[in-house]
Structure 1
Amino acid sequence: MCGIAGLLKFKGDTKRNIRKMNERMVHRGPDDEGIYISEDGKVALGHRRLSIVDLSKMGAQPFVSGSGKSIMVYNGEIYNHQEIRDKLLKEGAVTKFRSTSDTEVLIEAIEYYGIEKALTMCKGMFGIAVYDTEKKTITLARDRVGEKPLYYGTVAGSFAFASDLGCLRVVDGFDNKINTQVLTIYFTEGYIPAPYSIYEGIYKLEAGTYMTVDVETFKTDVHTYWSMKEAARRGQSNIFTGSRQEAALELERLLRASIKDQMVADVPVGAFLSAGIDSSTIVSLMQDLAPGKVKSFTIGMDDPAYNEATYAKEIAAHLGTEHTELYISDKDAKAVVPKLATMFSEPFADSSQIPTYLVSKMTREHVTVSLSGDAGDELFCGYTSYGSIDRIWGKMKGFPYFIRKPVSSLVLHSPLVNKDIYRIKGTLLGAKGPCEIHKLEHETDPIIYSIALDKRTLPYKLTELPEDFLTEPNHECMLADMLLYHPDDILVKVDRTAMAVSLETRVPMLDKDVVEFAWSLPLEYLREGSVGKMVLRDVLYKYVPREMMERPKKGFAIPIDKWLLEPELREWAEGLLDKDKVRSQGILDPDVVEKIWRDYTDRGIYRIQIWYILMFQQWYEEEYRQ
């Protein structure tokens, strides 16, 4: 796990600026750094290293291929690098490797097979930049699901890229303005989805794609080597025909293979254990595979409504892991808030970022790599909202859209809209399909469209998903989340908080084979009534008693709606939301911001957009204005 950066045809002091970019992301790679500048000075590559595999200097980057033709910086892990190494040796592409690192395997595979075939062969998480010294091109690539970040764009007349958006911000001459067109999406979702960023002219490379950039002209050519949409379509077109028991056996086999690969490292490895189905399954299989005790980690809170640490401790004891828990106070959590703007480098407002940071910080004191159970809800139909959407769509679909849409408009433009129940029903009635219901569920309050002064918006993955792309409503919603919520919220949260403390996180359920198998499962193997993840539970119950797991899920959240009324955070919030300050910035509507805050403090109406606004304001003050 590392950080990469690059500058093409920079007009200033190239060496000083690539060093500045490296310094900005020292947290991503505290063990070492490297810089490459081409002889003509047109290409500069930077790298910060967190040593995981081959801790020697032989694994350092930027890495030069055996032929000297390619120079690469890369962030991530290739879990099947030994298999690719053997293939390269067998086919005579390489006679001898200089190191045991996956970096060398990756660059030689790219040079020998070409970028697309090499990426298709790889199983892992990564953000890659490869300079072809003969063709004078840089190729950027990102892993299939988007575990590792990669930003790129034009900065001060040069082409720049980095793992951390803040690296681009520190380049001399940076003057990219705020992309106000993304704010409506941000205040709806709480994050800024790829391909957009908070800055004009800077983008996130989409998951499953690679882009070749001409060093001289900055002309780009983008290709997709793997698509979540196509994986879902293929899976649903070729439904698994075995029994549910057979499906559980196959899923267990695939998870075991993924976990076995992801437990390989030259540093200590552990796992997050939140007491939910997903992390408990991962830890169960890890412990079954490990020769000794697996190190497991959880955090607890004194408030029983938010505390699952007692359950996690019971599961750990049953499995026999070496378990560490940390109970955090309100004071611990509140102390994280000032760090968030720099940690994420752009507005990001999933409040579970706070406990995720704290558990990562505690975990890093014991291990350098931690496996997590992320993606279980999205791949195995775990969210209860999926079943709700299925029921809503079941009632609506009998009425043609050309009838529902006018009725929806009529309700939303009548006095009925003043009552929450009619406003919500009126909004959902205008949905074309289950995916749009999923999108509209958290857009029923029209005030969210008034927060930003710029009322324009941009198309993004939820608006671009074709109607009835998949025929089954639950799968439609799962796909929407795997395209948007999971890569742009969950994975961003985990990567940035863990990297802030130099912890590498790995997600076994995002293994290509696991993902593609999950899409082939019929709904009845995933959900029974209101209970989801049935086939995943079938795997887990072989290792953990059913009665130990069958309890309401509390999630990984904090009572931010309560804390913001307490003196310390209230003073911080009101400082950021000061009406004169908001007006002087000229980005948000000061009257709307004031109404949202007063509705909360005076009337007890908490909207999640309060946290979204606060995270934007904190970012503006601490990152943008600096």
Structure 2
Amino acid sequence: MCGISGYINAARNQDERELTLTVLRMASTLHHRGPDDVGTWVDPVAGVAFGHRRLSILDLSSLGHQPMESACGRYVTTFNGEIYNFRALRQELEGWGHRFRGHSDTEVMLAALSQWGVESAVRRLNGMFAIALWDRETRLLHLVRDRMGEKPLYYGWMGKHFVFASELKAIRTHPQFDRAIDRGAVALFLRHNYIPAPYSIYTGIAKLPAGSIATIAPDPAVAPHVRPYWTVRGAAAQGQSHPFRGTEEEAIETLDDLLRDAVKIRMESDVPLGAFLSGGIDSSTVVALMQAQSSRPVQTFSIGFHEAEYNEAHHAKAVAEHLRTAHTELYVSPAEAMNVIPKLPALYDEPFADASQIPTYLVCELTRRHVTVALSGDAGDELFAGYNQYRWALRFWSHVSEVPSVLRTLLANGVTGLDPESWERGLRLVGPLLPARFRRRGNGHTLHTLAEMARADSPETMYRTIVSHWHDPASLVIGAAEPRTALTDRDQWGDIPDVIQKLMYVDMMMYLPDDILVKVDRASMAVSLEARVPFLDHRLVEFAWQLPVQMKLRQGQGKWILRRVLDRYVPAALLDRPKMGFGVPIDSWLRGPMKEWAETLLEEKRLRDQGFLEPGPIKRKWEEHCSGSYNWKGQLWVVLMFQAWLDHVQNDAPMVAER
């Protein structure tokens, strides 16, 4: 795992020393991603500079040093990630006459590119990667990102300089960086807790979408040519047109075999390796398959909280004892968890507000004390219908979709014609006549949310309401227009008839790459830990799309087929419990030990002076939350994370507030 950076100076007016110093400054900001080695490569004639920070995992010798040139001399790369099938590719390439100096996957990747060309070679790679490749023959730069978006890659033109990097902090050090904030991206952030690709927090800087190649000519008048080499949409369509035809037992056996191999090839490492273990279905499956293929106890790690409603450590310990892993757990106090919060703006580089970022960082920090590589159970929910909201959405849509849309709209308009506070007052008046569940605080806001869901003309539109933190963020962000995403752009929707599969598809397009994988990448890389995700093996993703939804969701329970695989290794009694999130008590912290910090960031004059957010709605929610009238932790946390990030970058240097 590494950090990459670089740029093209289309004016070609810098000498070798200037190019080297600039790209070295960029690379130096990524020291946490690669503390073991630093490298640069420049071509003053072409105006190209590559930087690299290395976390040594495979071939710890100098023969793995990057940037690296291909044996044929045509290509130069700076590469972040791992190619898990590099041994099989190396054997095939040796049959074509290639010879190798070292044992790194980077050298094998360059040989594959030389042999088959960029697009053909990339399709052969099984791994997680962000690749920058300079073609000396065509004088073109290629940027490549792995299929599911595990490794980050930002890029864009700044004047006559084209820049790219693993993280925005490297791009911010480039002398041409202008720091204009994209208000539309801020609106997306307030809705989703994250900024979905291809957008970033800065205008003119984009995220390369997962499964894509961008080709850049050294001319700012020519837009980067971005095209997919693999898509979730294509995998879903292929799975729908070629469904699995075997029996349930055969499907379980096939999934077991695929998972076993996905885990096996991700255990390749020349440094100590372990796994995160929460005691849930996904991480327990990964650890069980690791232990089944290991001659020694696998090192596993979990953190616990003293608050019972947030603690899963005892479940993880029980699974670890059954599998006989070498288990390490750490119980964290509220103070220790809150100490992470000041680090978050620098760690994530752009606003990010999934509160599980806090425990994720803590478990990565614990794990890094013992190993350099850790396998993770992420993505099981998206592949096998694990989220509770899928079931809620299915039940709701199955009822409301039977009502004519005109009538639904009329009813929804009637509900939203009264503001939530008026509904609250009315419900209080008739409260003694209502069942207890209708006398709870917040039902006025719940009615508004249900009305918006009922007004939806598709499952995707309904789901957007479910996953939104602020339902009209463009009205909260001054001067913003919310850009289109996979949830709002019908051209991106897959032709998927099943409601559950539709929602899983949308999550694979947005929530998985732009929330879950961002969280895991930044938290692990902040402590120089490589995290690997077996569930994201593309063979496994493609097989999951071939399975009927009945093998994923059955009798109201998700991950049916994955549970059957795990039954072979771990007794169901150790795992039979309601799903828990990986969370922390943000709501009570905001009313208690974090109240002063939050009030400072949300102060009305501060918001007005900054000119990004309307203070009124934020002030109302803050007062309601502090009084205990409502729990607005989600809406407030996303605003606080934007404010904390803004504070961080404004203290770093002046900021342009684009209008």
Q: What TM-score do you get using the length of structure 1 for normalisation?
A: 0.97
**Is this contact kept in 1: 2:33–2:53, CA < 8 A?**
yes
Measure how far apart 1:424 and its partner are: 2.2
Counterpart for residue 439 of structure 2: none
1:582 is the counterpart of 2:607:
yes
Measure how far apart 1:396 and its partner are: 2.1
Counterpart for residue 510 of structure 1: 536
Task: Supply the AA of the counterpart residue of 1:458.
Answer: P
CA distance in 1, matches of 2:471, 2:322: 49
Task: Supply the AA of the counterpart residue of 1:101.
Answer: S
The counterpart of 2:41, out of the listed 36, 45, 54, is 36
1:498 is the counterpart of 2:503:
no
1:221 is the counterpart of 2:225:
yes
Task: Supply the AA of the counterpart residue of 1:208.
Answer: G
CA distance in 1, matches of 2:360, 2:578: 20
1:322 is the counterpart of 2:330:
no
CA distance in 1, matches of 2:650, 2:125: 37
Task: Supply the AA of the counterpart residue of 1:87.
Answer: E
Measure how far apart 1:173 and its partner are: 3.6
- In 2 relative to 1, CA 285–188 (structure 1 residues): closer, same or farther, beyond 3 Å? same
* Structure 1, 523-532 or 112-121: larger mean CA deviation: 523-532
Q: What are the equivalent positions in structure 2 for 1:286-365 lying under 5 Å apart?
A: 286-365=290-369
**Is this contact kept in 1: 2:469–2:635, CA < 8 A?**
no
Counterpart for residue 129 of structure 1: 132
Structure 2 SS opposite 1:226: coil
1:70 is the counterpart of 2:70:
no
1:420 is the counterpart of 2:424:
no
CA-to-aligned-CA distance 1:516-555 (integer Å, 9 cap, x gap): 0011111111112221101000010111101111012222
CA-to-aligned-CA distance 1:189-246 (integer Å, 9 cap, x gap): 0000000000000000000000110024454211210000110121122221222221
**Is this contact kept in 2: 1:424–1:444, CA < 8 A?**
no
The counterpart of 1:118, out of the listed 121, 124, 131, is 121
CA distance in 2, matches of 1:189, 1:444: 6
* Structure 1, 436-445 or 103-112: larger mean CA deviation: 436-445
Task: Supply the AA of the counterpart residue of 2:592.
Answer: E
**Is this contact kept in 2: 1:64–1:70, CA < 8 A?**
yes
* Structure 1, 237-246 or 292-301: larger mean CA deviation: 237-246
Q: What are the equivalent positions in structure 2 for 1:542-581 lying under 5 Å apart?
A: 542-567=568-593, 569-581=594-606
1:169 is the counterpart of 2:203:
no
Task: Supply the AA of the counterpart residue of 2:501.
Answer: H
Q: What are the equivalent positions in structure 2 for 1:56-205 lying under 5 Å apart?
A: 56-92=61-97, 94=98, 96-155=99-158, 157-205=160-208
Q: Which residues of structure 1 form unaligned runs of 5+?
A: none
Task: Supply the AA of the counterpart residue of 1:459.
Answer: R
CA distance in 2, matches of 1:225, 1:588: 39
User: Cα RMSD over matched residues?
Assistant: 1.7
CA distance in 1, matches of 2:606, 2:581: 35
**Is this contact kept in 2: 1:240–1:521, CA < 8 A?**
yes
CA distance in 1, matches of 2:563, 2:347: 35
CA-to-aligned-CA distance 1:166-201 (integer Å, 9 cap, x gap): 111111242131000122211110000000000000
**Is this contact kept in 1: 2:4–2:165, CA < 8 A?**
yes
**Is this contact kept in 1: 2:190–2:469, CA < 8 A?**
no
**Is this contact kept in 2: 1:126–1:142, CA < 8 A?**
yes
**Is this contact kept in 2: 1:153–1:159, CA < 8 A?**
yes
- In 2 relative to 1, CA 500–156 (structure 1 residues): closer, same or farther, beyond 3 Å? farther
**Is this contact kept in 1: 2:195–2:201, CA < 8 A?**
yes
Task: Supply the AA of the counterpart residue of 2:5.
Answer: A
Measure how far apart 1:156 and its partner are: 5.0
Counterpart for residue 598 of structure 1: 623
Q: Which residues of structure 2 form unaligned runs of 5+?
A: 424-443, 653-659
Between the two proteins, what is the percent identity of the paired residues?
43
Counterpart for residue 6 of structure 2: 6
CA distance in 1, matches of 2:190, 2:469: 13
Counterpart for residue 457 of structure 1: 482
Measure how far apart 1:101 and its partner are: 0.3
CA distance in 2, matches of 1:84, 1:111: 13
Counterpart for residue 431 of structure 1: 456
- In 2 relative to 1, CA 98–465 (structure 1 residues): closer, same or farther, beyond 3 Å? farther
CA-to-aligned-CA distance 1:318-340 (integer Å, 9 cap, x gap): 00100000111111101111100
CA distance in 2, matches of 1:134, 1:238: 41
Measure how far apart 1:456 and its partner are: 1.1
**Is this contact kept in 2: 1:151–1:164, CA < 8 A?**
yes
* Structure 1, 288-297 or 148-157: larger mean CA deviation: 148-157
**Is this contact kept in 1: 2:376–2:531, CA < 8 A?**
yes
**Is this contact kept in 1: 2:193–2:469, CA < 8 A?**
no
**Is this contact kept in 2: 1:254–1:514, CA < 8 A?**
yes
**Is this contact kept in 2: 1:427–1:444, CA < 8 A?**
no
Counterpart for residue 31 of structure 2: 26
